[in-house]
C-alpha cells in the first residue's frame, strides 16, 4: 500500500476528487497509533473500537474545518483523545458504584478480559493510572508510552507546556508510590 507524507495527504484531502482516497490513506496510516492511544484510556477493546471509529467519522465530517496549520496526526489525535475522554466521563456517570469500589474492580475486570495479556501487577498498574485525574492520566500516557514531545501534547490538549510538565511530574510520582506500596 502506498504511503504518503503529511503534505501529500493534505493535498489529497483538499481536492473533492481525491478526498476519499486521501482519507482512506490517512486512516490506514494512522489508525493503529490512534487505536492504542484510545485503548489506553478506555481499556476495553470493544469500547476502543467504537470510540476510534466514531472519532474517524467525526474527522471525515470535520475535514472542511481543518485549516492545515497543524500536522494531520495532531489533529486526529485531538479528536480521538476527546472522544475517548468523553466516553469515560459518560461511563463514570452511568456507574452506580462509588469511585473507590470502581477502581478496586477495574484490575479484576482487566484480568477477566480476553484482550488483556498482563499479570495482576500490570492490571493493578492500569487501575492506578485510571485513578489519576484526567489531564495527568492523558499526559502520562502520551509522554511515557507514546514518547510524544510536550509541544505536540500541548497542541493536542490545548494546555501549556509548563502545565503539562507539572502534570507529568505528579503522575510519575503517584505511580512510583503505587509500586512502593505493592513491593
Partner 1 sequence: MINEEDFLNSKMGKRNPFTVPEGYFEQLTQQVMDKIPQAVTTEMKPVRKPAKIAVMKRLRPWLYAAACICVGVFIAAIAFNNRSEVATPQPASQQIAVNEPTDYNYYSDSYIDEEADYAMIDNQEIYACLMADMYY
Return the number of the residue (102 or 175) whose C-beta is nearest partner 1.
175
Binding site for partner 1 (CB under 8 A): 16, 19-20, 23-24, 27-28, 31-32, 35-36, 39-40, 43, 45, 49, 52-53, 56-57, 60, 115-118, 122-123, 125-126, 144-145, 169, 172-173, 175-176, 179
Return the number of the residue (46 or 134) whose C-beta is nearest partner 1.
46
Nearest-angstrom CA–CA distance, 108 and 102: 10
N residues, the chain: 183
Q: Whole-angstrom distance between the N-terminal and C-terminal Cα of the chain? A: 47
What are the cell numbers at 127? 487501575
The answer to whether 79 and 65 have CB atoms below 8 angstroms apart is no
Q: Give every CB contact of residue 167 below 8 A, 6+ residues apart in sequence.
A: 135, 136, 139, 140, 159
* Shortest reach from residue 96's CB to partner 1, in Å: 26
* Shortest reach from residue 20's CB to partner 1, in Å: 6
Return the number of the residue (60 or 66) whose C-beta is nearest partner 1.
60
Return the number of the residue (99 or 122) whose C-beta is nearest partner 1.
122
The answer to whether 52 and 80 have CB atoms below 8 angstroms apart is yes
* Shortest reach from residue 98's CB to partner 1, in Å: 26
Amino acid at each position: 500500500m502506498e504511503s504518503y507524507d503529511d503534505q501529500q495527504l493534505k493535498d489529497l484531502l483538499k481536492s473533492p476528487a481525491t478526498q476519499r482516497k486521501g482519507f482512506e490513506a490517512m486512516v490506514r496510516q494512522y489508525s493503529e497509533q490512534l487505536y492504542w492511544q484510545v485503548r489506553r484510556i478506555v481499556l476495553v477493546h470493544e469500547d476502543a473500537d467504537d470510540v476510534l471509529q466514531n472519532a474517524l467519522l467525526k474527522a471525515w465530517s470535520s475535514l472542511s474545518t481543518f485549516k492545515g496549520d497543524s500536522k494531520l496526526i495532531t489533529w486526529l489525535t485531538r479528536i480521538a483523545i476527546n472522544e475517548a475522554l468523553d466516553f469515560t466521563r459518560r461511563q463514570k456517570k452511568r456507574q452506580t458504584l462509588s469511585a473507590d469500589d470502581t477502581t478496586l474492580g477495574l484490575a479484576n475486570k482487566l484480568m477477566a478480559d480476553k484482550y488483556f495479556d498482563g499479570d495482576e501487577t500490570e492490571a493493578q498498574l492500569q487501575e492506578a493510572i485510571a485513578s489519576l485525574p484526567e489531564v495527568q492520566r492523558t499526559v502520562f500516557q502520551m509522554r511515557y508510552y507514546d514518547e510524544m514531545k510536550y509541544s505536540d501534547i500541548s497542541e493536542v490538549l490545548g494546555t501549556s507546556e509548563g502545565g503539562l510538565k507539572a502534570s507529568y511530574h505528579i503522575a510519575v510520582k503517584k505511580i512510583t508510590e503505587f509500586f512502593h506500596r505493592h513491593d
